[in-house]
Each structure stands twice: as structure tokens, then as C-alpha cells.
């Protein structure tokens, strides 16, 4: 069995590979960056989750119908 140092093996994953030497990609802006956070909505949802009332059978049915529609099974 051979023991190699961290930069002695060449290949697609080695530190000497071209991928590691390339320039990093520019950071792209998020789609809704700068959109204000709706604190009233965040607070209400947190309270509903804490109270155990956020998930309802009606919300589950709507989510299931939407998912089945996207899968074209519903």
C-alpha cells in the first residue's frame, strides 16, 4: 500500500488540477434579494407552529392536490 501526500497524486480531484486553479465564479444575486421580510407573517406562522395549528387537513389536501397536479396524476 502506498501513502501519498495531499498534492502528489494527479487527477481530476487533485489540488494541482485545472479546476482548482480557475477563478471563482462571480456571486450572483438572489431573485428576491432586497425584498423586505414580512415580520407580521413570520410572527404569525411561528405562533401557529408553536401552538400546533399551522398544519391543517385543509392545507394538507391543497398541497397534495398541487403535488398530484404537477405529477399529472390528479
Per residue in 18-61, pLDDT (tens digit) is 655 666 666 666 666 778 899 999 999 999 999 999 999 999 99
pTM > 0.75: yes or no: no
Residue 64 pLDDT grade (very low, low, confident, very high; cuts 50, 70, 90): very high
Longest dimension (CA), the chain: 62
Signed CA dihedral, 21, 25, 27, 30: sign only: negative
Report the C-alpha dihedral over residues 70, 31, 20, 17, rounded to 10 degrees: 30
- Collapsing DSSP states into helix, strand and coil, what is residue 48? helix
Amino acid at each position: 500500500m502506498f501513502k501519498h501526500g495531499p498534492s502528489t497524486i494527479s487527477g481530476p480531484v487533485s489540488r494541482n488540477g485545472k479546476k482548482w486553479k480557475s477563478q471563482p465564479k462571480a456571486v450572483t444575486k438572489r431573485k428576491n434579494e432586497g425584498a423586505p421580510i414580512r415580520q407580521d407573517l413570520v410572527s404569525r406562522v411561528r405562533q401557529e407552529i408553536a401552538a400546533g395549528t399551522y398544519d391543517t387537513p385543509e392545507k394538507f389536501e391543497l398541497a397534495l392536490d398541487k403535488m398530484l397536479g404537477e405529477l399529472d396524476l390528479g
